[in-house]
Amino acid sequence: MRCFTISTLTFLVLWLSVSVASADVTDWLLSRIKLPSGFEITYFSDDVPNARSLTLGDSGTVFVGNRSGDTVYALVDGNGDGVAEHRYVIAEYLDTPNGIAFYKGALYVAEHHRIIRFNDIEKHLAKPPKPEVIYDDLPQKRHHGWRYLAAGPDGWLYLSIGAPCNICNEQKPFATICRLRPDGSGFEVYAEGVRNSIGLAWHPESRIMWFTDNGRDWLGDDVPPDELNRAEKKGLHYGYPFIHGKDIVDPKFGKSMPERKFTPPALELDAHVAALGLRFYTGSMFPPEYQNRLFIAQHGSWNRTVPSGYRVMMITVEQGRVTDKSVFAEGWLSGILKWGRPVDLLVMPDGSMLLSDDLKGAVYRISYQPIK
């Protein structure tokens, strides 16, 4: 018989007591989020079903991808008050359009099986153009079949292709991060041995790529760790399915480990937290010490005995090494009850930071105002 903690029961009672009024629920839930002093979280939009990946247009449009649905949205804050007044549907009836990237005026969308492009999109939000297919040969297996897409500082599009299983040894391009040119040419594997990455970011100074990776399941509640990885060049192998974290040999595939060098994670994260989107802070709103800090959205565990994750972590990177980590935002989980699941992050032109939540169907805005 499962035992409920006092905090869980308190959460449940309070939830039931305010559920009669949705506005009260919204305000109360946001008040549960814990942030450092001076920071505030509000809704940029509370009506974005299954809000997943985020990318920013040149004119400030926030595009939102979708995993369990079929739609790509655009959010516009026309008067600059930190709230999106307009929500546009850019495309619907797509196949798992989780991955999105904006590059040179065009919106790129990675579906399960292909990548499409909407040209000059910010001038046509109300009536989007018909998309152009730039690549249509992505692998068809559904397990971990939602893609993450990002435009790198080198002008390439980077795309994650997860392993089609919990643990297996499939041929490339499974369990890799690939890249291709914006016209769809030059498709190649950039990093391998990556089980399932749903977050890519580049350090603003070194331009080196960092990415999250979700560890395998069913080795226990506390192993193996999720990973934060660093890819300073093409061709590195990060161990999957042979080794997990820095030194956990897989009980099935460790016996057939190839004789090659594996790149260990830059940081071992807690097991099963489902580390997804990440972003280096490059804005001017947060205090100076936050500059170039790395923020990681932890979506939260789905099969751990005691749930973990459901928060945003903050990582300090100095000279290419992780030197510190701490919890930046938490409160989407109380005991075993969860009301939100962080997914992706985005730094806005005004220096605020957006955070998507696919369970709540919302995009939050995190801002800072010095306490006087």
Q: HSE (CB half, 13 Å, CA atoms) of 283? A: 20
Under 8 Å between Cβ of 74 and 125:
yes
Confidence of residue 21 (pLDDT cuts 50, 70, 90): very low
Answer yes or no: is pLDDT of 20 > 90. Answer: no
| Token representation of residue 230 | 């660093």
Under 8 Å between Cβ of 92 and 66:
no
Contacts with 204 (C-beta within 8 Å, 6 or more apart), sequence order: 280, 282, 292
What does the mean pLDDT of the chain come to? Answer: 94
Answer yes or no: is pLDDT of 23 > 80. Answer: no
Fold annotation for 24-368: Neuraminidase (2.120.10)
User: Which run of H or of E encompasses 45?
Assistant: strand 39-45
| Token representation of residue 277 | 């989107």
- Separation CA 279–CA 269 (nearest Å): 16
Task: Quick: pLDDT tens for 65-123.
Answer: 999 999 999 999 999 999 999 999 999 999 999 999 999 999 999 999 999 999 999 99
pTM: 0.94
Answer yes or no: is pLDDT of 316 > 90. Answer: yes
- Separation CA 273–CA 339 (nearest Å): 16
Phi-psi region at 320: left, alpha or beta (left = phi > 0; alpha = psi -120 to 50): left
Task: Quick: pLDDT tens for 211-224.
Answer: 999 999 999 999 99
| Token representation of residue 327 | 């919890």
